[in-house]
Structure 1
Amino acid sequence: MRKTLLLVPVALLLGACTWGITLDDGAKNVRTVWSGDVSSCHELGKVTVSVMNRVGPINRNDIKVRDELEVMARNEAAKMHADTVKPLAEPSEGSQPWGAYQCGANRPAAGRPGTPTPAPGQSAPGNTETYPIKG
C-alpha cells in the first residue's frame, strides 16, 4: 500500500514533464505528410528520431511521444533543407523513421490518414492542423 501511495505522486509529476523538444524556426516551414503521395518530390534522405517513451516502469503518453517524434523529424528535415517529411513506419520503442523530401510547388496534401483532402484552391470546413503546445 505504501509503495502505491509513493508511485502516484511520481507518476503525476512525470506526466506533467516537458522534455524540452521544441520546433526550430526553420522547421516551421516543414510540412508533415501522413498519407500523401510524395512521388513527385525529390527525396533528400531518411532520418530516424528517438525520444523516451517510458520513464522507469511508467509509459509516457503515446500522443505526446508521437508529437515529439514529429517535431524532431521536422527539425532534422529543416537541417537537410527539406520542406516535407513523411513517416516511413509506426513508432516503436520511442523511435521512428521519417523520409525527408523537397517538394516545392508539388507539395502533397498534409492530412492525417482517413481525412478527406479538399479540391485544389478550396479549403475543407473545419480542417485544422495541430501542433504540440509549449510548456
Structure 2
Amino acid sequence: MRKTLLLLVPVLLLNACSWGITMDEGAKNVRTAWSGDVSGCRQLGKVTVSVMDHVGPVDRNTITVRDELEVLARNQAAEMHADTIKPLAEPTDGSQPWGAYQCGTAGLKPGQQARPAATTSAAGNAKTFPIKGG
C-alpha cells in the first residue's frame, strides 16, 4: 500500500501542473501568427508568460508547456485588446516572450489560428506539419 502511494503521488503532482490554466473567453478570439507575418498589424506591446517546466527533478512534457504558454499569452493579449500574438523567442526555463498585435480578423473566423503551411525537407521525402490543429 505504501509503495503504491509513493508511486502515485508524483504522477498526481505532475498532472496537477496544468490544472487551472484555462483559456479566457476573450482569448478565444486571439489568433497565433505562427508564420510570424504581422507586417500589416499594429504592435500593442510585449508579454512574457511563464509556467513550471519541471517538478522537482522531473521535466514536464515540452508540448504541454508550450501549449500552456500559448494559452497564457492569448489571455494576456485579450486583456490588451490585441487580436493576434506572435512568439518572439523559443521557451526557456518555462518562460516565453510574445508580441501582442492588432491586425483585424479579415478572412479569419473567431478563434482561428494562422498556421504555417506544411514544409518539405531538402531531400523532398518528408513533410512537417504544426503540432496543434487549429
Q: TM-score, normalised by structure 2?
A: 0.75
Question: Tell me, which stretches of 5 or more residues in structure 2 are unaligned?
Answer: 120-129
Q: Deviations over 1:83-129 (max 9, x none)?
A: 000000000000000000000146797114x536xxxxxxxxxx996
Alpha-carbon distance in 1 for matches of 2:68, 2:49: 9
Query: Helix, strand or coil for the counterpart of 1:11?
Result: helix
CA apart distance, 1:77: 0.2
Alpha-carbon distance in 1 for matches of 2:70, 2:98: 9
Structure 2 counterpart of 1:72? 72
Runs of 4+ in 1 over 4 A off after TM superposition: 105-109
Mapping 1:75-90, distance limit 5 Å: 75-90=75-90
Q: Deviations over 1:11-34 (max 9, x none)?
A: 322332233100000101000111
Contact map agreement 1:41 1:106 (CA 8 A) in 2: no
- The answer to whether structure 1 residue 130 and structure 2 residue 130 are counterparts is no
CA RMSD of aligned residues (A): 2.9
Contact map agreement 1:40 1:106 (CA 8 A) in 2: no
Question: Tell me, which stretches of 5 or more residues in structure 1 are unaligned?
Answer: 117-126
Q: How many residues align?
A: 117
User: Quick one: which amino acid aligns to residue 57 of structure 2?
Assistant: P
Contact map agreement 1:11 1:58 (CA 8 A) in 2: no
Structure 2 counterpart of 1:101? 101
Contact map agreement 1:36 1:111 (CA 8 A) in 2: no
